[in-house]
Structure 1
Amino acid sequence: MDWDDLRVFLAVARAESLSGAGRVLKCDAATVGRRIARLEEGLGAKFFLKSPHGYALTDAGARLLPHAEAAEAATAAAEEALSGEAGQLTGQLRIGAPDGCANYLLPQVCAAICDAHPGLEIQLIALPRLFNLSKREADMAIAVSRPTAGRLTVQKLADYQLHLAADRDYLAAHPPITSRADLRGHRMIGYIPDMIFDKELDYLAETGAEAVGLASNSVSVQMQMVRAGAGLGIVHDFAIPFCPGVSRVLPDEIGLRRTFWLLRHADDRRSERLGRLAEALGQGLRAEIARLEAAAAVQ
């Protein structure tokens, strides 16, 4: 058994299809199928069952998986030790993040990290959902709540604040808001209730509103609705400086504090490279959040 065979096995296990694995491996599905057949024949075991939903691991495949992941981690560690100049981070890094963080924070933070490490390539996946690190959708992911299950390494990155906000044109066209009671009759902007993928994103109770008049599963779209003068919404303070004319409403009465968490696969916990990247990411996020929240407080 060699590492290249295990690499093909891992790709199919994570993609759950030959074509998906082929895209990762940059080869056609037929080649992937032949490689898996050769591996199964050589080891005398069936590792996958094909179904209408894709390729699922058999019991034998499930037993092989942790060993293949350990081989992957060892290979990556060896490459880290032998590549790049002293102190420099190189290679490709894929980060999954909720769209608010990805839109308003990570572009600046990742640019600074790449400036410090020219040989590093960062890919940013912005999706309003949780990421599956076991399937290697990303090397690391940022979450808005601390997971309680899964083989993960969890690290606190930074706290951040959210407040009720509105555009100045909207506020000028409606009666003054001096208390929670004044919010009655205003259109609220927020998440689509049945598409809230994390309990930390359920902000509605903070306003006392009974329903959302305009909704989106994307926090960035919600922010643009607020900016367009469509109503009031709970928004990230760090997003407010990007939207001239938007300001906080009842900041002393309605405010939330949340936390960003960095998640990595447990097998990566010994990776010096990912550890240094995680440290740089945390430092950059904390600094950028502090800068933007200070600007939001006076906007």
Structure 2
Amino acid sequence: MDWDDLRVFLAVARAESLSAAARVLKCDAATVGRRVARLEEDLGAKLFLKSPQGYRLTEPGRRLIPHAETAEQAMSGAAEELSGQTGGLSGQIRIGAPDGCANYVLPQVCGAICDANPGLEIQILALPRMVNLSKREADFAITVSRPTGGRLTVQKLADYALHLAGDRSYLAAHPPITALADLRGHRMIGYIPDMIFDRELDYLAETGAPTVDLASNSVAVQMQMVRAGAGLGIVHDFAIPACPDVVRVLPEAIALRRTFWLVRHADDRRSERLTRFAEAFAQATRTEIARLETLAAGQ
């Protein structure tokens, strides 16, 4: 059995299409199809069923997955060992993250890590949804709820604060806000209710604030709405320093605390390279969030 055929098999299983797998593998879909057919012939078993939804694993295909992933880990470990990665980190690492974290924290964190490891390439996948590690969309995922199922390794990344905030221009044009009752009549900014992909993101329901009038599934868009003076919104403290005229409102009455979790596939725990990256990344993230929150408190 050829390892390269197994690599192609895993790419198709994760992408569920020949064309998507081809993009990952940087080859053409016809080549991917031939490699899958060759592996099926070698094994004497059909590994995929083609349907309108894409390529679905058959029962033999599902049984092959853990063996192929074991081979993948072995090849990765061998590459790390032979490359002598005892010093700096190198190669490509992809991180999936909520767009608030991706926009306001990760650029500084990843930039600093790359400065210390010139051979390292970091990709940030910013999505307003959960990242699928089983399909290998990323090496790591940052989540706002601790996952409880699946074959995953989970570690606490950092706690972070959120407050109600508004732009100085909006606050100057509206009556003073000194108590929760004063929020009535103010335009509220938040998530599109039916697109809240994690219960931890339902901020306004927790605070009892009025109904959302301006909404987006993107934290970055919500912050830009606040920055434009369009209303008030619950924002991450670590985002406030990027918007100098945005200030916290009723910080004692409306204060939320959440946690970021760093998640990876359980099979990757044997990768020294990914473990070393996780340690450096967690420390840098905690330090950066603390720095930004200190700046926000001083505004």
Q: Name 1:21's counterpart in structure 2.
A: 21
Instruction: Give the whole-Å Cα distance in 2 for the aligned partners of 1:254 and 1:204.
Output: 10
**Aligned letter for 1:62?**
R
Stretches of structure 1 lacking an aligned partner (at least 5 in a row): none
**Aligned letter for 1:136?**
R
Q: TM-score, normalised by structure 2?
A: 0.98
- CA deviation vs aligned residue, 1:215-247 (integer Å, no higher than 9, x gap): 000001000100111110000000000001100
Q: Name 1:268's counterpart in structure 2.
A: 268
- SS of the aligned residue for 1:121 comes to strand
Ranges of 4+ aligned residues in structure 1 off by more than 3 Å: none
Q: Name 1:284's counterpart in structure 2.
A: 284
- Where do residues 154-165 of structure 1 align in structure 2 (5 Å cutoff)? 154-165=154-165
Instruction: Give the whole-Å Cα distance in 1 for the aligned partners of 2:30 and 2:108.
Output: 41
Q: Name 2:215's counterpart in structure 1.
A: 215
How many matched pairs?
299
Q: Does 1:136 align with 2:136?
A: yes
Sequence identity percentage? 80
Q: Name 1:231's counterpart in structure 2.
A: 231
- CA deviation vs aligned residue, 1:70-124 (integer Å, no higher than 9, x gap): 1101111111111155311110001110000000000000011001111101111
Instruction: Give the whole-Å Cα distance in 1 for the aligned partners of 2:265 and 2:218.
Output: 26
- Where do residues 172-211 of structure 1 align in structure 2 (5 Å cutoff)? 172-211=172-211
Q: Does 1:34 align with 2:31?
A: no
Instruction: Give the whole-Å Cα distance in 1 for the aligned partners of 2:212 and 2:86.
Output: 53
Query: Does the 8 A contact of 1:180 with 1:207 survive in 2?
Result: no
Query: Does the 8 A contact of 1:84 with 1:90 survive in 2?
Result: no
Q: Which stretch of the first structure deviates more once superposed, 288-297 or 201-210?
A: 201-210
- SS of the aligned residue for 1:13 comes to helix
Query: Does the 8 A contact of 1:188 with 1:211 survive in 2?
Result: yes
- Where do residues 58-137 of structure 1 align in structure 2 (5 Å cutoff)? 58-84=58-84, 86-137=86-137
Q: Name 2:251's counterpart in structure 1.
A: 251
Aligned-residue Cα RMSD (Å) equals: 0.9
Following superposition, the deviation at residue 26 of structure 1 comes to 1.3
Q: TM-score, normalised by structure 1?
A: 0.98
Query: Does the 8 A contact of 1:8 with 1:25 survive in 2?
Result: yes
Q: Name 2:147's counterpart in structure 1.
A: 147
Pick closer, same or farther for the CA change 1:85–1:37 going to 2, 3 Å.
closer
**Aligned letter for 2:103?**
N
